[in-house]
Amino acid sequence: MNDQTQAPAPNAAPETPPQHVYAPCPCGQVPESLLIEVAQDNKVARAAGNCCATWYVEFLRGNTVDQQVITDRATKAWDAAPRSTTP
Ligand SMILES: [Zn+2]
């Protein structure tokens, strides 16, 4: 007599953060990830879309070497960069 009671909802969602949707690249595609170039002696790093690896934004990484922080800054820079809306 234990059917239909307390069926635990199969929580199929593991702890994966939602996929970030990047702003479209000037090449017309939406990159799935960013290629980040960090030069050791330069506080300015570059991030290019993986769609074409041609367009890039520069952003200030400062002194951090924390990959998560750098990725976060790159993502913000990419999304905030002005881009032409002309097709
Ligand atoms: Zn592109």
Q: Is the pTM of this model over 0.85?
A: no
Q: Name the token pair of 81.
A: 């960069």
Going from the Cα of 49 to the center of ligand 1, the distance in angstroms, rounded, reads 5
pLDDT digit string, tens, across residues 58-86: 999 999 999 999 999 999 999 999 987 65
Instruction: State the amino acid at position 43 in one-letter form.
Output: K
Numbers of helices and strands, H then E, in the chain: 1, 3
**Does pLDDT of 87 surpass 80?**
no
Going from the Cα of 45 to the center of ligand 1, the distance in angstroms, rounded, reads 18
> How much is the pLDDT for 50?
97
Going from the Cα of 36 to the center of ligand 1, the distance in angstroms, rounded, reads 14
Half-sphere exposure of 5 (CA within 13 A, CB side): 3
Instruction: State the amino acid at position 8 in one-letter form.
Output: P
Report the C-alpha gap between 59 and 46 in whole angstroms.
6
**Does pLDDT of 6 surpass 70?**
no
Report the C-alpha gap between 30 and 53 in whole angstroms.
12
